């Protein structure tokens, strides 16, 4: 039976002391770069993996990162987690993942529960209020993803600019009145999207009718579609793609054509957005890149690397409108009179 590779084997191959091997993994800043690279190369060649439990006793670190998301069933978040996991692996961290089920109280409880088992926590789209966020930040190092609070480190997708791009696109097509289907009221992303829409509406001469709030899921999109049509708009901007998919389904049930009767725009660019018919125009969010950036920010924080003025890193990551088949120049205004049996018709036909 093949014996396990030990720290002594690595030391012999790298021609260094056992203590140098140990420091290369636990306190790399104390080892010359060339020496550490030689140690790491020897470890890779031999297939050596440091004992996490032993390293934790030496460093006081667990080499674990906690990750809390509001809804794992939402395809937006697995993509973020994929980026987190890939970057954490590169930094020799494991991740603990938890779903807060869109519940601010559970979100805080999960962070407290993780605090003793991880070196820090990445909180995705935090739903808790500012006071609770301040309290939990005192229990463990935090990095926020898509939430800004005071000087806590954060990775922020530029969702307000995504809203600007969406409104500019609709205005260029000739739309003058659209609905925004608002998401969770405690969502930072929702507030930023709404802020971006309002600014863009004034800049491009588009009237935006704000509706909601709605839950960020498919079923809410079904409900929201009826309310949007009652508002007699030519375009609908949904809080996210899941809601937009529900809108598309409901419009189809009502006999309305997308984009001939109504244009629809989503946010996130989940995989389904390009697979449906018509394919969905949406604002692509840099999910994996943001997940990787969140890990880098947390690792910097754990290593004591902050901004020069003593503050914390807050990084902005750009978004991009992806134009597909669900948007087009406006047709005639849609009548909201429907008896549930015959397809809706457009006024003027």
Q: What is the pLDDT along the chain (349 residues), one digit of tens a residue?
A: 556 788 788 889 999 988 888 777 766 777 888 898 898 898 888 888 776 655 554 455 678 999 999 999 999 999 999 999 999 988 889 999 999 999 999 999 999 999 989 999 999 999 999 999 999 999 999 999 999 998 899 999 999 999 999 999 999 999 999 999 999 998 999 999 999 999 999 999 999 999 999 999 999 999 999 999 999 999 999 999 999 999 999 999 999 999 999 999 999 999 999 999 999 999 999 999 999 999 999 998 888 876 544 345 889 999 999 999 999 999 755 554 444 444 444 433 3
Instruction: Residue 71: name the closest of 195, 200, 187, 244 by CA.
Output: 187
Listing from the earlier edge strand, what are the strands of the sheet with 263-268?
207-211, 177-181, 235-238, 263-268, 281-284, 320-322
- State the Cα–Cα distance between residues 15 and 47, nearest whole angstrom: 17
The region, left, alpha or beta by phi > 0 then psi within -120 to 50, assigned to residue 160 is alpha
H-helix segments, the chain:
7-14, 18-26, 33-46, 52-59, 76-90, 104-114, 130-137, 159-173, 188-204, 218-230, 241-253, 287-302
Q: Give this prediction's pTM.
A: 0.79
Q: Which CATH class is domain 64-156+287-316?
A: alpha beta
Sign of CA dihedral 338, 342, 346, 349: negative
Domain ranges of the chain: 1-16+35-40+48-59, 64-156+287-316, 159-285
CB neighbours of 138 closer than 8 A, spacing ≥ 6?
none
Residue 289 is encoded by which pair of tokens?
Answer: 């890149």
Q: Which CATH superfamily is domain 159-285 in?
A: Response regulator (3.40.50.2300)
Instruction: Residue 249: name the closest of 287, 284, 220 by CA.
Output: 220
């Amino acid at each position: 039976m093949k014996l396990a590779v030990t720290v002594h084997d690595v030391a012999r191959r790298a021609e260094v002391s056992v203590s140098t091997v140990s420091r290369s993994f636990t306190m790399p800043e104390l080892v010359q770069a060339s020496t550490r690279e030689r140690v790491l190369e020897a470890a890779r060649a031999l297939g050596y993996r440091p004992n996490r439990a032993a390293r934790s006793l030496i460093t006081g670190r667990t080499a674990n990162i906690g990750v809390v998301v509001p809804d794992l069933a939402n395809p937006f978040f697995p993509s973020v987690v994929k980026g987190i996991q890939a970057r954490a692996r590169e930094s020799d961290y494991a991740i603990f993942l938890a779903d807060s089920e869109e519940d601010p109280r559970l979100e805080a409880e999960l962070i407290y529960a993780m605090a003793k088992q991880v070196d820090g926590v990445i909180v995705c789209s935090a739903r808790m209020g500012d006071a609770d966020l301040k309290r939990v930040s005192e229990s463990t190092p935090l990095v926020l993803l898509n939430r800004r609070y005071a000087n806590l480190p954060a990775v922020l997708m530029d969702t307000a600019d995504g809203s600007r791009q969406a409104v500019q696109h609709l205005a260029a097509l000739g739309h003058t009145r659209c609905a925004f289907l608002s998401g969770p009221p405690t969502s930072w992303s929702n507030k930023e999207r709404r802020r971006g829409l309002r600014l863009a509406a004034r800049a491009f001469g588009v009237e935006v009718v704000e509706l909601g709030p709605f839950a960020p899921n498919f079923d809410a999109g079904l409900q929201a579609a009826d309310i949007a049509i009652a508002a007699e708009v030519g375009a609908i901007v949904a809080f996210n793609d899941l809601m937009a998919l529900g809108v598309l389904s409901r419009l189809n049930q009502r006999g309305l054509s997308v984009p001939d009767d109504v244009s629809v725009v989503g946010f996130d660019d989940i995989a389904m957005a390009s697979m449906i018919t018509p394919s969905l125009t949406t604002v692509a969010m840099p999910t994996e890149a943001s997940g990787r950036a969140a890990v880098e920010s947390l690792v910097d924080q754990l290593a004591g690397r902050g901004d020069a003025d003593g503050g914390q890193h807050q990084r902005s990551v750009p978004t991009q409108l992806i134009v597909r088949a669900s948007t087009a120049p406006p047709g005639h205004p849609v009548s909201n009179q429907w008896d549930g049996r015959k397809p809706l018709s457009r006024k003027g036909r």
